[in-house]
Amino acid sequence: MNYSRQREIILDTLTRNAVHPTAEKLFQIIRDENPDTNIGIATVYRNLRKLADMGVIKRIEGLEDAEHFDHNTHTHYHFMCEKCKKVYDIESDVAPSLIENTQKQTGFIINGYDIVYHGICKDCQDV
């Protein structure tokens, strides 16, 4: 299998699994869905890093464990559940002027951010 085909599968699998998987998790899904693929974990890692460097996907910083990857490159925040470790998207309109206000107050120029809330998600609250 050639490189671009491998990258296509990786990106496609990430896009259809909007759960901010780690490379390991994404690798499992790819293996489950494509039993005869020869994609290895190292290939998944390499391609995710490359796609993140290219700005096609986003690497989520600020999480305590392994790197998570996000196909959604639009402005949004994250919530990480302390129990199930799932990462959810939070729309940035919960705090529409956050960046503006921060720039005003500090005088810093903000080029990007990784805002991650921690807590217990709805599913885990029911248990």
Alpha-carbon torsion (47, 49, 52, 53), positive or negative? negative
Q: Which amino acid is at 103?
A: Q
CB of 123 vs Zn ion, minimal distance in Å: 5
Stretch that binds Zn ion, among 26-34, 40-48, 64-72, 99-107 (CB under 5 A): 64-72
**Which residues, numbered 74-103, are part of the site for Zn ion (CB under 5 A)?**
81, 83-84, 89
Q: Which residues 1-60 are close enough to bind Zn ion by CB under 5 A?
A: none
Residue selected from 45, 57, 70, 71 as contacting Zn ion according to rule CB under 5 A: 70
Q: Which stretch binds Zn ion (CB under 5 A): 7-15, 70-78, 93-101, 106-114?
A: 70-78
Closest to 57 measured CA to CA, from 65, 66, 67, 82: 67
Give CA–CA dist 80/120, Å, rounded: 8
